[in-house]
Amino acid sequence: MRQAITELAIATPGQGLHEITDPVERWVADSAIETGLLTLFVRHTSASLLIQENAAPAARRDVERYFAKIAPESAGYEHDDEGPDDMPAHLRAALTATSLSIPVAGGRTVLGTWQGIYLFEHRRVGHRRRVAAHLIGG
Amino acid sequence: MRQAITELAIATPGQGLHEITDPVERWVADSAIETGLLTLFVRHTSASLLIQENAAPAARRDVERYFAKIAPESAGYEHDDEGPDDMPAHLRAALTATSLSIPVAGGRTVLGTWQGIYLFEHRRVGHRRRVAAHLIGG
Amino acid sequence: MRQAITELAIATPGQGLHEITDPVERWVADSAIETGLLTLFVRHTSASLLIQENAAPAARRDVERYFAKIAPESAGYEHDDEGPDDMPAHLRAALTATSLSIPVAGGRTVLGTWQGIYLFEHRRVGHRRRVAAHLIGG
């Protein structure tokens, strides 16, 4: 049994779902761990992780519109130090995932056919996001 | 230290919370790992995982009604390739969990007395769902 | 490779976000595992876990008000055995996290600068909450 740990740097172009399945799978393959457990952890409170439909861009746009509606910019938040998209970003992060754990088999994650891993950027402006990745197995 | 990995096939009868605590605990017991970490991962984007109250069926009905209300079928989604219950399914999955990790002690999960593990089926029609399970420990 | 497991007992003063970063980091440090994976699991269905902004108390108050609004006490739930704050507690727990996994490097979690770990108490009255903690690594 052994482990690998790294940090993936992801430059987001702005608000929305940005697929990171490829760099994640590449790192898993490079680790040469055949069977194990992958954990991703986003080191921010205004971005989050989401497993979503990887085939239909319309589904991703619906997801983005949905979170914009249930945690809107115009709700009179007390905290707005960094602008109107600051507090909604924290709320959308709270409603989705900060960490995700995915079993690994045959040297790759067991993601289903229609699943992709997405970094959900909640700020309007693109950011350089850091996602910690840990893999344990053999 | 060693690990076990499997896939649980769960036939859901239709929309709602379906308890899977028993097959999960059975697999943990069969693995003969006394202390460790269990991870469950649902390989779909229209079903999810939820730890909920295991004693009161009324609480589960309230949970189902709540998610039907906050991510309703009638909200004019762009993506509706598979019918009106398609997009709400993705949203309800996004709001709940795709992966769950539960420590194991004494050969069983440390679930609290009132906690059950549920597969949350978001499509109207029952499906055969695949839940990957990984256990590491000793 | 080795592992450590414990249960943290957290007395909450009442509804809201209660930071538990310090006792968690202390336990990680005491374990003397340098690199690995930490998992936290809350053993209740009316409290949950949340990674949030650790610098701005106003952001935490906004988070608390937001969840009070989207899963309110006055929504005519079927399940109210333990009072009007019972069912909303289960819903707020369902919308946030029951388990969190955080990589460990250099003997501490890789939490970002502005991230804190919070136990989210959803009942009005303070409770003694049990959070299972598992750490594996070397």
Chain B from 24 to 83: CB within 8 A of any A CB: 37, 39, 41, 43-45, 70-71, 75, 77-79, 81
Q: Which of A13, A46, A105 is nearest to C59 (CA)?
A: A46
CB A23 within 8 Å of CB A127: no
Find the range with the poorest average confidence among A111-115, A133-137, B74-78: B74-78
Distance from CA of B58 to the nearest CA of A (A): 24
Residue A81 is predicted with a pLDDT of 83
Q: Which tokens in the block code for residue C73?
A: 């006490």
Neighbouring C-beta atoms of residue C132, cutoff 10 Å: 22
Count of structural domains, chain C: 1
pLDDT of residue C6 exceeding 90:
yes
DSSP state of B41: E
CA atoms A20, A25, A26, A27: torsion sign: positive
Residue of chain C whose alpha carbon sits nearest to that of B120: C94
pTM higher than 0.80: yes
- DSSP assignment letter at A44: -
Look at C102 and A1 and tell me if their CB atoms are within 8 Å.
no
Q: How far apart are CA A118 and CA C112, in angstroms?
A: 19
Partner residue opposite B137 with nearest CB, options C3, C75, C130: C3
Q: How near does any CA of chain C get to the CA of A113, in Å?
A: 24
Cα distance from N-terminal residue to C-terminal residue, chain A: 5
pLDDT tops 90 at residue A80: no
Print the domain residue range for C64. Answer: 2-137
Token output for C23: 């006792």
ipTM above 0.90, yes or no: yes
What pLDDT does C74 receive? 83
CATH number of domain containing A111: 2.60.120.460
SS3 assignment, position A2: strand
Q: What is the pLDDT of residue B74?
A: 84
pLDDT at residue C27 tops 90: yes
Which tens digits make up the pLDDT trace of A40-66? 999 999 999 999 999 999 999 999 999
Q: What is the mean pLDDT of residues B97-107?
A: 98
Residue A91 forms contact with C (CB below 8 Å): yes
Give per-residue pLDDT as tens, B8-55. 999 999 999 999 999 999 999 999 999 999 999 999 999 999 999 999
Give residue B104's pLDDT band: very low, low, confident or very high (50, 70, 90): very high
pLDDT for res C4: 98
